[in-house]
Structure 1
Amino acid sequence: MLLTAQQMDPVDIYHTLTQVIIPRPIAWVLTPNDEHFTSSNLAPFSFFNAVCSDPPILMLSMGNKTDGSLKDSCRNLLERQRCVIHIGAEDQAQAISDTARELPFGESELELAGFEQVPFKGTDMPRLKGVPVAMACRLHQHLEVGNKPQNMLLVEVDKIWVDERACYGDDRGRKRINAELLRPLARLGGSEYAGLGDVFRKVRR
């Protein structure tokens, strides 16, 4: 099968890309609806990855709501310049999927997902209790790309919290994280998700 992107409808391109660029990590993004996180928005995005390590910058890409307005995560990030990005585990797949629903602004997805916020040490933001990875970030740059356009948000990581049960030190004294213990959830195409499956290490020759 050979596809020519310029001859395809954007919806078909989207579905094709999300089925061939797999697996994708999922950023489970917590943003404040107000200055003090008394109300929070929680949403997953799989157009997400690391793009720089010095400084540590992550990329989030998100479209708009069906009515054309900014998604709450984007609106909150632009207004308050901060967020907490979580990496959820396999057994949190249903909760992550549930928080993708489009709710009225100010209506929190936390109750829908059944998660609570706990203090994020070293920051003035909370993190989700029971989620294995959390990264406190601040907005670095906002770009609009594409014809609709799409919002591309670059955020700089300030603090990283990882569940201690997945952490260990190697024989060189470096901090290591056991991916099999994190059990991160990955996004595929359509309504499909995946876990890590078999983990292997490359053989040095």
Structure 2
Amino acid sequence: MQFQFSELTPSERYHLMVQSVLPRPIAWILTVNDDGSHNLAPYSFFAPVCANPPTMVVSIGQKQPGEDKDTFRNLQRDGRCVVHIASVDWLEALNASSATLAKNESEVSMGNIPLLTDNDGGLPHIDGAPVAYYCRLQQVTDLGPAPQHIVFLEIDKLVVAEGVDYVKGGSTRLSAAAINPLARLGGSEYAALGDIISLARPE
């Protein structure tokens, strides 16, 4: 079967894409609201872009036409965020944080999600999350009539939980099995890591 995307509605295109681009990593993004509370929301249109400068990209839509999501508003105002890679253990909390709440209602407070604050007094990160990237807003490109905000984030710092990092051959490595990342599929489906296949690249 073939699908001509020019003949489909945006909703039809979206559902085909999320049910076929699989699995997708999830950026669980923490930002600070203008009242000092914390917003937390998952995004699966997300990927690393390059290492120099260390950059990630996340696509953020709108709550409804003309109304930006809290994550984007907070990034535009404050410029900072923490991108977590959640383990499978966080499935229920992550899914609950995708609910649409009123401005300044905190998913962190509603979900009783524990936070850790570093000594530098900056943003906190989720206590128990295996991976947390401290990022700052680099640039935004808008696509489409809605628009969809394509947000580039530059990484300042990476925090990994105990047991995630190890040393092999004199180099620090991160264990995919220890991270046990949660992935997004289509509809209401999520996925766990499954089999890990190790295969050296050819010379």
> Shorter-chain TM-score: what band?
over 0.9
Structure 2 equivalent of residue 185 of structure 1: 182
Is 1:202 aligned with 2:167?
Answer: no
Q: Distance in 2 between matches of 1:79 and 1:55?
A: 22
Displacement after TM superposition at 1:141 (Å) = 0.1
Map 1:33-182 → 2, pairs under 5 A? 33-34=33-34, 38-66=36-64, 68-122=66-120, 124-171=122-169, 173-182=170-179
Question: Paired residues, what number?
Answer: 202
Q: Distance in 2 between matches of 1:24 and 1:134?
A: 17
Displacement after TM superposition at 1:123 (Å) = 6.1
- Flag structure 2 segments of 5+ consecutive residues without an equivalent: none
Q: Is the Cα contact below 8 Å between 2:29 and 2:81 reproduced in 1? A: yes
Q: Distance in 2 between matches of 1:96 and 1:120?
A: 22
Q: Is the Cα contact below 8 Å between 2:87 and 2:182 reproduced in 1? A: yes
Q: Distance in 1 between matches of 2:145 and 2:49?
A: 23
Q: Distance in 2 between matches of 1:3 and 1:72?
A: 34
Secondary structure in 2 matching 1:175:
strand
TM-score of the two chains, using structure 2 as the length reference = 0.95
Is 1:26 aligned with 2:23?
Answer: no
Secondary structure in 2 matching 1:165:
coil
Displacement after TM superposition at 1:149 (Å) = 1.1
Q: Distance in 1 between matches of 2:27 and 2:41?
A: 8
- Flag structure 1 segments of 5+ consecutive residues without an equivalent: none
Q: Is the Cα contact below 8 Å between 1:34 and 1:40 reproduced in 2? A: no
TM-score of the two chains, using structure 1 as the length reference = 0.94
Secondary structure in 1 matching 2:73:
helix
Q: 1:147 to 1:56 in 2, by over 3 A?
A: same
Structure 1 runs of 4+ off > 6 angstroms? none
| Identity within the alignment, % | 41
Q: Distance in 2 between matches of 1:92 and 1:150?
A: 27
Secondary structure in 2 matching 1:94:
helix
Is 1:11 aligned with 2:21?
Answer: no
Displacement after TM superposition at 1:163 (Å) = 1.1
Letter in 1 for 2:27: A
Q: Distance in 2 between matches of 1:113 and 1:56?
A: 31
Aligned Cα root-mean-square deviation (Å): 1.4
Q: Is the Cα contact below 8 Å between 2:85 and 2:131 reproduced in 1? A: yes
